[in-house]
Structure 1
Amino acid sequence: MFDKIREYLSRTVRLTEKELKIFENSLELRMVPKKTILLSAGEICNFEAYINKGCIREYFIDGNGIELTLQFATEDWWVSDITSFEDQIPSDMYIEALEDCELLVLTRQAKENLINEVPQLERMFRLMIQRHLSKLQKRLFKTVSATAMDQYIEFVTRYPMISQRVSQQYIASYLGITPEFLSRLRAKHLKNG
Structure 2
Amino acid sequence: MQKCTACDIFKGLDFSEKEKDLAEEKFEELFPKKGDVLLTPGQPVTHQYFVLSGCLRTYHITPAGKEYTLQFAVTDWWISDYTAFFTGGESMFYIDCVKDAVVYKISRDSMEQLYTQVPQIESFFRVKMERFFASFQKRILADLALTAEEKYLRFIKSYPDIEQHIKNYHLASYLGITTESLSRVRHELARR
TM-score, structure 2 normalization: 0.93
The offset of 1:94, in angstroms, is 0.8
Distance (whole Å) between structure 1 residues aligned to residue 89 and residue 74 of structure 2: 26
Distance (whole Å) between structure 2 residues aligned to residue 9 and residue 33 of structure 1: 24
When residues 158 and 10 of structure 1 are mapped into structure 2, their CA distance, relative to the original with a 3 A threshold, is closer
Letter of the structure 1 residue corresponding to residue 92 of structure 2: D
2:4 maps to: 2
Distance (whole Å) between structure 2 residues aligned to residue 57 and residue 93 of structure 1: 10
Distance (whole Å) between structure 2 residues aligned to residue 66 and residue 56 of structure 1: 19
Cα deviations by residue, 1:60-112 (Å, 9 ceiling, x for unpaired) = 11242111000100111111111111111111111111122211110122112
Distance (whole Å) between structure 2 residues aligned to residue 33 and residue 149 of structure 1: 31
* Alignment partner of 1:41 is 2:44: no
Distance (whole Å) between structure 2 residues aligned to residue 34 and residue 71 of structure 1: 16
Letter of the structure 1 residue corresponding to residue 90 of structure 2: P
Distance (whole Å) between structure 2 residues aligned to residue 32 and residue 167 of structure 1: 18
SS at match of 1:18: helix
The 10-residue stretch of structure 1 (67-76 or 150-159) with the greater mean CA deviation from structure 2:
150-159
Distance (whole Å) between structure 1 residues aligned to residue 132 and residue 164 of structure 2: 23
TM-score, structure 1 normalization: 0.93
Number of matched residues? 190
Letter of the structure 1 residue corresponding to residue 157 of structure 2: T
Letter of the structure 2 residue corresponding to residue 179 of structure 1: T
Distance (whole Å) between structure 1 residues aligned to residue 78 and residue 98 of structure 2: 15
Distance (whole Å) between structure 2 residues aligned to residue 80 and residue 108 of structure 1: 11
Distance (whole Å) between structure 2 residues aligned to residue 108 and residue 141 of structure 1: 30
Q: Unaligned regions of 5+ residues in structure 1, if any?
A: none
Identity %: 34
Q: Is the 8 A contact 2:53 2:101 kept in 1?
A: yes
SS at match of 1:6: helix
Distance (whole Å) between structure 2 residues aligned to residue 65 and residue 79 of structure 1: 23
2:152 maps to: 152
Over aligned residues, Cα RMSD in angstroms?
A: 1.4
Alignment of 1:1-193 (within 5 A): 1-3=3-5, 6-11=7-12, 13-192=13-192
The offset of 1:8, in angstroms, is 4.6
SS at match of 1:45: coil
Q: Which runs of 4+ in 1 moved over 6 A?
A: none
Distance (whole Å) between structure 1 residues aligned to residue 10 and residue 181 of structure 2: 40
Distance (whole Å) between structure 1 residues aligned to residue 26 and residue 9 of structure 2: 16
Distance (whole Å) between structure 2 residues aligned to residue 58 and residue 170 of structure 1: 10
Distance (whole Å) between structure 2 residues aligned to residue 120 and residue 34 of structure 1: 34
Cα deviations by residue, 1:143-188 (Å, 9 ceiling, x for unpaired) = 1011111111111122111212211111011011111111111000
Q: Unaligned regions of 5+ residues in structure 2, if any?
A: none
